[in-house]
Amino acid sequence: MSIAIVRDPIGVTCRGLVYIYRLDGYDVVALSGVDLDVAPGESLALVGPSGSGKSTLMGLMAGLLRPSAGRLSVGPHDLAKAGPMELQRMRANDVGVVLQGASRNLLPYLGAEDNIRFAQREVPREYRTDMPAARELLDLVGLTGSGVASSLPKRLSPGERQRLAVAVGAASGAGLLLADEPTSQLDTHARDEVLAALEAVHATGRTVIVVTHDPEVGERMHRTVTIRDGRVGAEGRRGEDYLIVGRDGSVHLPQELLELHPPGTLMRAEAEPDGTIRLIPTIGTGSET
Ligand code: ADP
Ligand code: MG
């Protein structure tokens, strides 16, 4: 079954995006200059170690956090400049969010279909004619069993609950769906069903961005972007990994090379005539020289 969405898929652009958590007495720099383009209609996985800034980046794209510096645009919205009204409009119409932990996205006292309808109440009247019916959304994420439509979230299995959270995230018909660790703590079977639900949402013509630390989830998306230490560390396309030269000229080594050449290693970089660069480590590490 297919649901045509009337609104266009939404792209994202980050330029030198910085986010700082300001705590009592000290700051945590969670993102320190992210450059990233996500084309409308793309599916992308944000991968990388815990604490690298993935959820922060997703929170910024969702309009839940405000950039500390740099540029961020989500579709037509410039989030460095957007006021509260524009942010609210963006969250209602243009961006669907599946927060980490299915139950955070669901109201415990409403059945599955009513959870979707509740999410749709946020959408302004002029957009409501574009919205898929609650039952269609349940079908889209594969929640077709008898009685599911009226089931309370606690009566669903963990995988079903997560798929319901995806349906709720997609309920407004927004052109961008963001999902933070949607498959964590699920067994393989339930994970595959959640992935199928995300792929079904993507197939309706939406941009889908998933935060995950499961490499198999990453492989199912068009592209993976590794976030490391608050910046884009590497990109993968069709199974190949690429390094990215950052705006300050830095390059993050992939984990297996980092184990070979730990932080502090001194290297000489030599360019060959064809542009190939050779990195030649000095004997020992920087701390020993
Ligand atoms: P990830 O999702 O990749 O695990 P996060 O975006 O959650 O990473 O965190 C990035 C960094 O920001 C980490 O150093 C984390 O400790 C810090 N951080 C995240 N949320 C908060 C918060 N609410 N207050 C302070 N620091 C935070
Ligand atoms: Mg996270």
Ordered by where they begin, the domains of the chain are: 12-252 (3.40.50.300), 254-289 (no CATH)
User: Does 55 contact ligand 1 (Cβ within 6 A)?
Assistant: yes
What is the secondary structure of 76-141 as a DSSP string? TEETTT--HHHHHHHHHHTEEEE-SSGGGGS-TTS-HHHHHHHHHTTS-GGGGGGSPPHHHHHHHT
Q: Rounded to the nearest whole angstrom, what is the distance from the C-alpha of residue 100 to the centroid of ligand 2?
A: 8
State which amino acid sits at residue 96: G
User: Does 169 contact ligand 1 (Cβ within 6 A)?
Assistant: no
* DSSP SS3 for 43: strand
Which of 276 and 194 is assigned the larger pLDDT? 194
82-110 residue pLDDT tens: 999 999 989 988 999 999 999 999 999 99
Contacts of 166 (CB under 8 A, 6+ apart): 98, 141, 177, 179, 182, 194, 197, 198, 201
User: Does 28 contact ligand 1 (Cβ within 6 A)?
Assistant: yes
250-272 residue pLDDT tens: 777 777 788 888 888 888 888 88
CA-CA distance, 281 to 289, in Å (whole number)?
12
| pLDDT value, residue 238 | 55
164-178 residue pLDDT tens: 999 999 999 899 999
User: Does 50 contact ligand 1 (Cβ within 6 A)?
Assistant: yes
In order of 62, 164, 167, the CA distances from 213 in angstroms are 20, 21, 22
Whose Cα sits closest to atom 7 in ligand 1?
A: 55
Q: For the chain, what is the total number of helices (H) and then of strands (E)?
A: 8, 13
210-232 residue pLDDT tens: 999 887 888 888 899 999 889 88
Residue 57 alpha carbon, nearest atom of ligand 1: 6
